[in-house]
């Protein structure tokens, strides 16, 4: 295989990638991001229009899976840029990388669709949590995700990595108010709140399409979200625990919804 | 309040704490660990026998919550050591710390108890995942946790932080084989496997006490665990997703168990 090769940290492509790796604001500003790892590089083969170039750590092409993926990118006329490991390390969004990073165009904002299930993230700030929630949402069958302006930027490299490719199957609106989503979707607004609410398992809910709201790590959902809530739900926890991690709580709620849908129980 | 003060990085207490912060092997070897943050410092007030000393970043005592906690430690005759921020940073197991770290004695290994629910972690290597599973386990009412020798060390600072205090309510065996736990508890061995198994929601299980097994991030459960399995269960995922994060998958299984227990459904 023939690769391009860059050996200077001063090269504009490297400077740009480094900026994207280090500052999540840069991704939003440039409309570009980095997708690290074998899993994402393979997923992106189904979305080649998003891939601007592929960065490769010198030697990583010896990995059989990576080599297979690179051949496909080359046959799609997408350039593969080989980097000495020190330069690769400066553009990798994670410390222990498999040696492959795709630079991608961030797709346009998603659209508000009626008659489908939604999730709204209300100030979830940890990129790992946002990504894990996307992965769990898709796994539970929900593909519409909207986020408040206070959330970690959903297309940042760390969120991409944690979501393991879920982005590419989802309809994502990166910065919007809950009121707008609720009004335009007409979905029942279910708010998960560790401080109190009806029992997730005992309460009847989930008959029509739902709009689940999950709040921030420290503070939970905002007052605004509680005002817009049609039903506030609580996961019944052992009394020795105050709350679950937000990504865990979201997954428990979304899979209770999936259980109800799969078993044909519209409510309860 | 009167604090001890250390200003030299060469002080033996600092060298020890730094070693504990940086190398999870050190925790196992020394029988000591670090519990970072306000939440853990508050939880540990109920277990003062475990706390050897409290490290404080200079100025952090101005935080009202921290100041309250420090007063209680001082009244328990546990020494509070104030550090200049640079030295504090070297002993803090996390980059963004609230400014308080407790150095703790690791309790003795737990005991194998019959007639109770268990969880076995089979090669879960990410400390954040191990900690999140402990937190979810306790939240779901399961307090007995055993780990394979390949897991992240359960008493390491990063696992302590992710578990948010769950350690102090659990019976933990840090390194043991599944065969021994299964034989001595007599519990039904339920193995979660993303590669295949019976449907988590449709299958009847959970009548007697259970021993749930969750596998490693990359490879899932080991062959040995599959051989010991009484029932292999699969979370029914949307076909666009291969698997869930292991901490998420464990939480979904454990809360399905909790749902069945709470609703009095012994099976289904």
Phi, psi of A104 (to 5 degrees): -120, 155
Q: Who among A138, A242, A259 is closest to B241 (CB)?
A: A138
- Minimum mean pLDDT range among A21-25, A43-47, A236-240, B102-106: A21-25
- State ipTM: 0.93
Q: Supply the CATH classification number for the domain B118-262.
A: 3.40.1280.10
Q: Measured between beta carbons, which residues in chain B are less than 8 angstroms from residue A132?
A: 245, 248
Q: Measured between beta carbons, which residues in chain A are less than 8 angstroms from residue B135?
A: 241, 244-245, 248
Q: Who among A141, A247, A259 is closest to B248 (CB)?
A: A247
Instruction: Looking at the complex, report in whole angstroms how far the Cα of residue B121 sits from the nearest Cα belonging to chain A.
Output: 17
pLDDT, average across residues B246-263: 96
Q: Of A142, A124, A132, give the one whose Cα is nearest residue A256.
A: A142
Shortest CA distance from B166: residue in chain A? A241
Q: Measured between beta carbons, which residues in chain A are less than 8 angstroms from residue B237?
A: 139-140
State the CATH class of domain A4-105: alpha beta
pLDDT, average across residues B152-164: 96
For residue A95, the model assigns a pLDDT of 84
Q: Do A252 and B247 touch (CB under 8 A)?
A: no
For residue B57, the model assigns a pLDDT of 97
Q: Is B100's pLDDT higher than 90?
A: yes
Q: Is A218's pLDDT higher than 90?
A: no
Tens-digit pLDDT profile for residues B9-47: 999 999 999 999 999 889 999 999 999 999 999 999 999
Q: Do A256 and B259 touch (CB under 8 A)?
A: yes
pLDDT class of B127 with cuts at 50, 70, 90: very high
Domain ranges of chain B: 4-105, 118-262
pLDDT class of B265 with cuts at 50, 70, 90: low
For A148, A262, B137, B151, B158, the CA distances from B122, given in Å and listed in that order, are: 37, 29, 15, 7, 18
Q: Of B168, B185, B172, B265, give the one whose Cα is nearest residue B230.
A: B185
pLDDT above 70: percentage of residues in chain A:
99
Tens-digit pLDDT profile for residues A38-89: 999 999 999 999 999 999 999 999 999 999 999 999 999 999 999 999 999 9
């Amino acid at each position: 295989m023939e690769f391009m090769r860059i050996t200077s940290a001063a090269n504009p492509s490297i400077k740009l990638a480094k900026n994207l790796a280090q500052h999540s604001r840069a991704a939003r500003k440039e409309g570009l991001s980095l997708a690290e790892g074998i899993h994402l590089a393979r997923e992106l083969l189904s979305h080649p229009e998003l891939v601007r170039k592929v960065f490769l750590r010198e030697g990583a092409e010896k990995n059989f899976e990576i080599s297979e993926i690179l051949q496909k990118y080359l046959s799609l006329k997408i350039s593969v840029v080989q980097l000495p490991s020190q330069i690769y390390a400066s553009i990798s969004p994670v410390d222990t990388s498999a040696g492959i990073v795709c630079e991608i165009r961030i797709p346009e904002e998603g659209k508000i669709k009626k008659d489908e299930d939604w999730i709204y993230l209300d100030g979830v700030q940890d990129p790992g949590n946002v990504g894990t929630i996307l992965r769990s949402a898709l796994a539970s069958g929900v593909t519409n995700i909207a986020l408040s302006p206070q959330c970690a930027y959903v297309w940042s490299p760390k969120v991409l990595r944690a979501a393991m490719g879920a982005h590419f199957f989802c309809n994502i609106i990166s910065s919007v108010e809950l009121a707008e989503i609720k009004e335009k979707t007409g979905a029942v607004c279910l708010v998960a709140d560790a401080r109190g609410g009806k029992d997730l398992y005992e309460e009847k809910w989930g008959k029509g399409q739902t709009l689940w709201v999950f709040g921030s790590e420290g503070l939970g959902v905002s007052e605004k979200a509680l005002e817009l809530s049609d039903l506030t739900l609580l996961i019944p926890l052992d009394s020795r625990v105050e709350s679950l991690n937000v990504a865990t709580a979201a997954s428990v709620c979304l899979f209770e919804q999936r259980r109800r849908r799969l078993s044909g129980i519209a409510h309860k």
